[in-house]
Structure 1
Amino acid sequence: MTSISASTTLRGTSLALALAVLLTGCQGGSDTSADATSPFSATATATATPTDDPTSDASEEPSDDATATPTPTPSPSPSAPSTPVAAGYAAGEIPPVPLITIPDLSMLDASLSGFTHEITELVGDYPGLTIAPASCDASGTVREGAGNVLLYGDGSGVYTGPDGTTVNYGDGSGTYVIDGVSVTVYGDGSGVYSSDTVSVANYGDGAGVYSDETVSLSVYGDGSGTRTDETGTITNYGDGSGVYTGEDGVTINNYGDGSGIYTDGLITIQNDGQGTALVNGVPVDAEPLPPVPRMGVFPPMGTIEPIASCGTTITLSDAALFDFGKHTLRPESQQTLDSLAAALAETGAPVLQIGGHTDSISDDAFNQTLSEDRAQAVADGLVERGVTATLETTGYGETQPVAPETTADGADNPAGRQLNRRVEIFVPAF
């Protein structure tokens, strides 16, 4: 009986407890909060957004209805470690279209320095004797073998150099060929320059075309242009937009409004110019692209200066003065020296520079001595004929030829060697 009473009591207690739990659950059915120990509560904690109510219990979560709200899409992140990037740039950044640089065109002006020449009538016409204006450098030193010039008195003239001719029209325009360079200048900043490796057409308004062994460049004078070299082609449209196509497969398009596209075969970046870019289709934050800077212009070409004077060079062939390999004046040279001395005395030149020159036959030492002795022989002959100017003599040996001594195929050139064997008298302008 006692055991039955205990069992009955236990069952009664269990039923009471179960009833109490059931009643409690029914009372909470109208509440928006679930017990923290509920299995539904764990699901809500993982997916729901925290309540904005600062008085809510931290152990409470939204009801099951709240878990049905879709999870918001995460904001784009430029630092996502899985986002591919262009080498050297952050996620979503597009490298700039390279700038178009204009090559150094200083040669356009450096090549146009005026020649300083003058013709002065000193003597008559004698075999083996020529008179021509002298060309001098900035220091006033005569340029040996620079050529001859014919002046017309109005600033115009024709200069014939070792490898070409200069025509100066006196208005800043002209044309010449020197040291393998051909230049035509129109006097208004435009012109054409051509050498073995460089070609330039300058239109004088900032536009022009340049090409060398590695670069081709077109400049349109309005900030736009195109350049092609071994790395690729750049096109600048002058309005902030531009395109680069590289030999390595890289293509960059900048549309000038902040948007653009980059591709290198592995990555494609599309910038919408509004703060977002798609990297292989994945959105990331990205600043709009800056515009492509406008490119520069061609500098105008200079002008050929009027031909000025630095003096006169009188050249005497060795055949008119000496026997081959000798420095004693021949009898036939006497009349030439008589006329020359009279003309020099008439000019009143205070200083005369006399230089001896040889060809390259024989050794250097012999040629040096021969050139010195020949220069001194002419000086002595002029002094004997009454020339009172200070005579400065110099022997140059074979170091200053005015003509090639071999032909293009390497054969001997006797005519060239003949021109190199000479004595020159420089009469400075004063």
Structure 2
Amino acid sequence: MQTFRTGMMFCVVGVALAGCARAPTPVPAQDDAPMADAAAGVTGDAQDASTASDPAVPDMPVIPPIVVPEIVGVTPAQRALEGSMAAILDPVAGISVRPARCDVDGALIDRSGITRIDETGALVRNSDAGIFKLEPDGSGTANFEGGLFTVNADGSGTINGIAEPDGSEAIVRVEADGSGTYNGKSGLIRLDGKGGGTWNGESGLITSNGDGSGSWNGPDGLVRIEADGSGTWNGPHGLITNNGDGTGTIGPPARPVKMPPMPRVAPAGRFPPLQTFAPPGAPCGYVVTLDERVLFDFDKSDIRPDAAQTLDVFATALQAVQHSGMEVRGHTDAKGDDAYNQSLSERRADAVRNALQTRGVAGDIGARGFGESQPVAPNVLDGQDNPGGRQLNRRVEVFIRA
């Protein structure tokens, strides 16, 4: 007997998002035709005669798997941010880094202008590349090329804009557990993060329940599969029922036949977490802040012995950074005499410069004291002393010009 394999649509949303292609034109396959079930009441020679007139049993379609398309996440927005700002050093214990901006004469603008960093490390950047609001943990928002990107520290978030490697747009929602939705050039994909999901695309509507069952309403009809291998196919051959035990029917009228159980539906994938933002440096360089408590005892300008390791790490990082100059800048709080604070800030700046040069940091390194003239936090709050603010003001900064 000859059996005929039906032409069906094989469609998988893959990394390349190549779309769908119909299988090659069906050709007759020399094969033994499945025998009619003995339950039909025909045995022996009579059974052979009856099966000779039965139509061939077509192969049941295999439901394509739901595969998550490649999503570039916040990468385009991150690149836009980096394009408007220079590279940045990774913070280490006792050292923090923030973007630096310079005026038209190349002078450092201290924490002002369109790039702002508050005392928690949160960054706000408004430039031709877009509007970025980033938190120290990498979460934040970006309004970039008309799209809106939101990412949380746990990798969840939303994208409404450029979302695919070829620059096409999509609307994507990702949850921390891998569930979410995608609405883009590949269609509409919904995932529950547990293996279940739906894909409504060019090949039709595909559903995977995550337990081996599912359905496909596509160009070759409606296929339903249960977890035990039973199911139905209502397509070009009429209604085919598979009982999952090696038997089934074709019809109407229903004719019993032998057929293998239907293949289980592959579980759906999960959305990968969105990469968080990495705040980079600013156009004219970056400012590294050294915590006063890491370097000096109170009211002293001699570097503490236990600060050596921090300075070693910092100096090693600086040796790998290309720059056009550095300036060590000392700052104090407003407590005490102005002249004394000015002198203390200068001595501390000199001490840090000497320590970096001793550790092999080459190039032009200046040192300058600003006393209490450039606070980054209030020394007094509501008429009361503000110890936390004064601590932030007591610092040594290294301005590294890119």
Give me the TM-score of the superposition, normalised by structure 2: 0.49
Higher alpha-carbon Rg:
1
Q: Which has the larger strand fraction?
A: 2
Q: Which has the larger helix fraction?
A: 1
Give me the TM-score of the superposition, normalised by structure 1: 0.46
